[in-house]
């Protein structure tokens, strides 16, 4: 894994690099890429809807660069994308931290400040919900048709999420899957297919590592990769992860010398691939969908389904509701799927209207 630029360049080139590069985080780089990709997709869709007459400009104040005087000009929704991205980023980060605190309440109350300001501990759905609420207010303030804004944002949201998940994967920030009992970590940090007789050893290591998440049980799946696929598609131990989680790597010095003692499913990679594919599908059909809310409804169904399925092999806190034990993400993703279906059914016969 590559927690920051200094470590990444040293690992990739083998050369000594300036220490100040350690302030630049690999996760942050992918977050920036995610926002840039989402901004491009949103701008393109807003321009298209403006050309169709679905979104209209409103009068706003703008300072003349030459004279410094303030004048009134017509401002189109696509010209506000930078503002939209910034407010959604701030609201999304706050929501992600709040929902993560609710999900891991016991850890949060022990160290509230540390949890709020840590580099890890972000819940995507918390960010999505809070960003949406802020966006509702923003759309009303600047008279942007909210239904068309949501439809335009659907491909951008899934693309940004997919690119962001690559940052989780390459930095090793903890959003990985459950134990794959077909693989074992060696002291030097390498991952290997387990030999006969090593299963109990792996189970003991897994119990030690997963004790905080799953007291008394160790969720795992025995799934060796087929011979025609690389092992890393089925299991990774996230050596040199950004949070230094796991056990020490033999003969490793400096920062980021930890590795998971067991192989886990690389769920961030799965989500990145699936979400980018979903983006490709939404982008391909966007011109064929002419009824408001349909595109956003399809996005909600795909997003909810993707996350609900991946939760089955992710390390996550489960709620005890008696006869079922869902995660926070499973509950929210189920609600998103239902909301998407209702949006499509309730609006399927409505004609396109202007904002």
pLDDT in tens, 116-158: 555 555 566 677 778 888 888 889 988 999 999 999 999 999 9
Under the banding of pLDDT at 50, 70 and 90, the label for residue 107 is low
Model confidence at 252: pLDDT above 70: yes
Under the banding of pLDDT at 50, 70 and 90, the label for residue 355 is very low
| Lowest-pLDDT range of 97-106, 135-144, 188-197 | 97-106
At 73, phi and psi to the nearest 5? -135, 160
For residues 25 and 2, give the distance between their C-alpha atoms in angstroms, rounded to a whole number.
9
The position carrying tokens 């230094």 is 244
Choose between 155 and 4: higher pLDDT: 155
- Residue 111: its pLDDT value, please? 61
Model confidence at 115: pLDDT above 60: no
Strand, coil or helix: 266: coil
pLDDT (mean) for 326-330 = 79
Model confidence at 268: pLDDT above 80: yes
Q: Which of 89-98, 180-189, 209-218, 335-344 has maximum average pLDDT? A: 335-344
pLDDT (mean) for 214-239 = 83
- Residue 354: its pLDDT value, please? 42
- Residue 305: its pLDDT value, please? 94
Count of all residues that appear for the chain in the document: 355
Under the banding of pLDDT at 50, 70 and 90, the label for residue 45 is very high
Ordered DSSP codes for 316-331:
--B---SS---BHHHH
- Residue 205: its pLDDT value, please? 67
pLDDT (mean) for 98-127 = 62
Ordered DSSP codes for 45-68:
HHHHHHHTTSS--EEEEEE-TTT-
Model confidence at 7: pLDDT above 70: yes
| 276-311 pLDDT, tens digit each | 999 999 999 999 998 999 999 999 999 999 989 998
At 335, phi and psi to the nearest 5? -65, -35
Return the domain boundaries, the chain: 5-173+268-347, 179-265
- Residue 48: its pLDDT value, please? 95
Question: Are the beta carbons of 309 and 217 closer than 8 angstroms?
Answer: no
pTM of the model: 0.84
For residues 303 and 295, give the distance between their C-alpha atoms in angstroms, rounded to a whole number.
12
Under the banding of pLDDT at 50, 70 and 90, the label for residue 95 is confident
In the DSSP assignment, the letter for residue 238 is -
- Residue 77: its pLDDT value, please? 92
Strand, coil or helix: 292: coil
| Average pLDDT score over the chain | 82
For residues 5 and 25, give the distance between their C-alpha atoms in angstroms, rounded to a whole number.
6
Model confidence at 103: pLDDT above 70: no
Model confidence at 269: pLDDT above 80: yes
Closest by CA to 165, choosing from 317, 12, 33, 318, is 33
Choose between 174 and 216: higher pLDDT: 174
Choose between 221 and 203: higher pLDDT: 221
């Amino acid at each position: 894994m590559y927690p920051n630029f200094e470590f990444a360049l040293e690992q990739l080139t083998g050369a000594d690099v300036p220490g100040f590069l350690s302030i630049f985080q690999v996760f942050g780089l992918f977050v920036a890429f995610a926002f840039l990709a989402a901004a491009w997709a949103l701008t393109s869709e807003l321009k298209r809807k403006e050309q169709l007459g679905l979104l209209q400009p409103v009068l706003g104040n703008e300072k003349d660069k030459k004279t410094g005087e303030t004048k009134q000009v017509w401002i189109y929704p696509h010209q506000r994308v930078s503002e939209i991205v910034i407010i959604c980023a701030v609201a999304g980060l706050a929501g992600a931290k709040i929902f993560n605190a609710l999900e891991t309440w016991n850890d949060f109350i022990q160290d509230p400040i540390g949890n709020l300001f840590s580099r890890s501990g972000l819940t995507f759905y918390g960010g999505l919900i809070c960003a949406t609420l802020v966006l509702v207010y923003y759309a009303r303030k600047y008279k942007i048709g909210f239904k068309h804004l949501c439809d335009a944002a659907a491909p951008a949201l899934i693309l940004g999420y997919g690119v962001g998940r690559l940052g989780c994967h390459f930095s090793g920030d903890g959003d990985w899957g459950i134990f794959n009992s077909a693989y074992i970590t060696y002291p030097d940090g390498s991952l290997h297919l387990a030999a006969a007789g090593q299963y109990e050893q792996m189970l003991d290591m897994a119990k030690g590592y997963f004790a905080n998440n799953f007291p008394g049980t160790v969720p795992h799946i025995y799934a060796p990769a087929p011979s025609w696929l690389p092992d890393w598609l089925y299991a990774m131990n996230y050596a040199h992860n950004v949070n230094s989680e796991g056990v020490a790597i033999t003969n490793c010095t400096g920062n980021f010398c930890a590795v998971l003692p067991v192989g886990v499913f690389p769920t961030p990679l799965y989500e990145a691939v699936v979400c980018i594919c979903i983006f490709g599908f939404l982008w391909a059909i966007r011109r064929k969908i002419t009824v408001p809310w349909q595109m956003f409804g399809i996005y909600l169904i795909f997003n909810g389904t993707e996350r609900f399925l991946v939760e089955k092999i992710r390390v996550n806190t489960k709620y005890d509701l008696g006869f079922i034990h869902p995660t926070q993400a499973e509950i929210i993703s189920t609600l998103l799927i239902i909301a998407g279906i209702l949006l499509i059914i309730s609006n399927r016969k409505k004609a396109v209207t202007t904002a």
